[in-house]
A and B are shown apart, each in its own frame.
Chain A
Amino acid sequence: MPSDSVCLWWIGEAAAEDRVMEEARVQVERVFGVSATLARRAERPSGTLDPRRGQHLSAGILRWLVAMRPPGATKLLGVTDVDLFIPILTFVFGEAKLDGVVAVVSTARLSGDAGGGSPRVSQARLVKECIHELGHTFGLIHCADPRCAMARSVNLAHVDAKRATLCADCRIRLSELRHGGGDAYGR
């Protein structure tokens, strides 16, 4: 299996929550079988705010992450506290390009009260969304199993229904995708 090295980087406006980021790092290592590190750098994306919407363009952040990817990191996941959007949607929890090298996840909408609003619930949601967006960078598409981390989530109830892990089918597909043999989805 090719050795992937994933870097997680807090790029939010508020101070980083080290404990939350560390938990995400550990879970990423566990789910994807990669080595994961935390970046502790001061740079932050700029020019991504749409003043009319008061939200940040996720594609802009992804572009910035590509430019800032540390040498040696095969994937870079940015975690932010700003609210993200893509032009056609009112918001997104995160975004990644399929088979890409960067992904971004926002905590802005993960602390709602649908699951009780406790920090522990928000942290669990963040971990799931980190796994979800990184999954896309490995080529995984949405899964129909609502308990799988790769299930499409368009609201907090969907996020809460997921587990911070991949279903058996997605694990097999991930293995096929990472080995580069065949086409996991027959596309």
Chain B
Amino acid sequence: MEVVTRMDGKKIRVLVVDDEEIVRESLLGWLEKDGYTVETAPDGRTALARLEAEPWSIVLVDLKMPGMDGMQVLEESRKLRPESVVVIMTAYATVDTAVTAMKKGAYDYLVKPFDPEELSLLILKIVAQQALVQENLLLRKVLKREYRFHDFVSKSAGMQAVFVLARAAARTSSTILIQGESGTGKELLARAIHTESPRSHGPFVAVSCAALAESLLESELFGHERGAFTGAVARRKGKLETAHGGTLFLDEIGDVGAKLQLDLLRVLEERTFDRLGGTEPVQVDVRVIAATNRDLRKAVEEGRFREDLYYRLNVIPVTLPPLRERREDIPLLVDHLLEQLAVEMGKTVQGVSADAMAVLIASPWPGNVRELRNVLERAIVIAPGSILRPADLGLPLPSAGDTGGGDEPVSLEDVERRHIAHVLRRTGGNVSQAARLLGIDRVTLYNKMRKYQLRKDEEDSAAGR
């Protein structure tokens, strides 16, 4: 029993906020003797700085203080540390004060001077509740492990289905077609499938089909013999050969031209190909995973993509849902990405404030998880504290009406158009910078700008539509 108290005492951190030194000293002495870690703050500003710097289990705040009063400290602490329990202390309690404090999220309020028994019982009650909070956090961590599939974190039904399918597909050598918008993690999924597969000891070779002109892409994929074309001074292995025994990831397969489509069809049908300038067919053992952000079925219907190749690729179709269709994952993803970014950037990041999380959840995310990651990375760089606030995110705030605020429902396309316009505005019309922030490539951004009739120099008028 004694040990339990000591252990609890070690974990429980109490912040006492009061402008009267004698009150701070008295409470410090009283609580320290129970084994709690206690610190004091003489005003609201100092209290918020302490709240931001470290987690606190209990915050005892005097209601009336010069400058920032207890109610303001309560409101701010609810945003910064929603897990902290705030108790308001006052010498002038009225029913109104108590009701207001409780409405704003105070756990309880104490009228000075307190009865020792009342204070003692209240602290014990909070300690017991904190034990439950700790247990809840632990369970959430366990759940987070459940929600993971390699670098993916998701609890949404759609993504869970993707994980199940990916695990099953990994055990086979069948061709997989991953469809999804930019930034949904198509390459990450391909890598995860490769890692889970019996081919994981072999190479994973990624080729972006949209990045190269068709002739260059051919040479890149199939390699060439010496003298195959001007400048081919030696035989060179292509990516297909490099991927032998492993997985070849063909990104942006929808952008491949007609000739290459035919060559790829042969590879998929016969697992053979010719190097450029070569006469002997080369046999390869590769598992092909293709990905696209285009609607391949529509491309087939419009005659822009070979139907036979489509069916060869579409053996196991996997569709990654866009982030806006799985908003319930955003808190989980933010947590996960902040953990990663903190390590990568060598920064201490404790999390995002409750109002910043609301902004993140409400954003349209046309660039999906990649955009979310970029926004968080940028926020970590510019945030003055270790908790990210709405202003650090550089996203339109819901109240600004920029995302179609108000009660009138707006279409997702409208939200996306306004969001892109906002980001273009922030970057002064710099498309490369805007694409980076949005987590999409420049080509995709140009396509979207064309689709929404956005011009670099007239985003303001577009945003106001």
Give chain A's interface residues, CB within 8 Å of chain B.
Answer: 59, 85-92, 95, 97-98, 136, 141-145, 148, 152, 154-155, 167, 169-170, 185-187
Q: Do A152 and B120 touch (CB < 8 A)?
A: yes
Contacts of A90 in B (CB 8 A): 113-116
Interface residues on chain B, number (Cβ under 8 Å): 30
Q: Do A98 and B32 touch (CB < 8 A)?
A: yes
Q: How far is the CB of A181 from chain B (nearest CB, A)?
A: 18
Complex: chain A residue closest to B6, CB-CB = A185
Q: Do A89 and B2 touch (CB < 8 A)?
A: no
Q: Do B32 and A59 touch (CB < 8 A)?
A: no
**Known contacts A88-B114, A154-B120; is-contact A143 B2 (Cβ 8 Å):** yes
Segment from B19-27, B189-197, B306-314 that makes contact with A: B19-27
Report if B259 contacts A (CB, 8 A): no
16 contacting pairs across A/B (C-beta < 8 A): A85-B113, A86-B29, A88-B114, A90-B113, A90-B114, A91-B116, A92-B116, A141-B6, A141-B32, A141-B35, A142-B33, A142-B34, A145-B2, A152-B33, A154-B116, A155-B117
**Known contacts A144-B5, A152-B120, A187-B10; is-contact A89 B35 (Cβ 8 Å):** no
Contacts of B37 in A (CB 8 A): 187
Q: Which residue, of A86, A136, A143, has the highest number of chain B Cβ atoms within 10 A?
A: A86
Q: Do A169 and B2 touch (CB < 8 A)?
A: yes
- How far does the alpha carbon of A31 sit from the alpha carbon of B260 in the complex, in Å? 92
Contacts of A142 in B (CB 8 A): 5, 33-35
Q: Do A86 and B26 touch (CB < 8 A)?
A: yes
Report if B1 contacts A (CB, 8 A): yes
Q: Do B35 and A88 touch (CB < 8 A)?
A: no
- How far does the alpha carbon of A142 sit from the alpha carbon of B127 in the complex, in Å? 15
- How far does the alpha carbon of A75 sit from the alpha carbon of B37 in the complex, in Å? 25
Q: Do B33 and A89 touch (CB < 8 A)?
A: no
Q: Do A88 and B2 touch (CB < 8 A)?
A: no
Contacts of A98 in B (CB 8 A): 29, 32-33
Report if B213 contacts A (CB, 8 A): no
Q: Do A141 and B33 touch (CB < 8 A)?
A: yes
Report if B112 contacts A (CB, 8 A): yes
Within 8 A of A (CB), among B413-451: none
- How far does the alpha carbon of A143 sit from the alpha carbon of B3 in the complex, in Å? 9
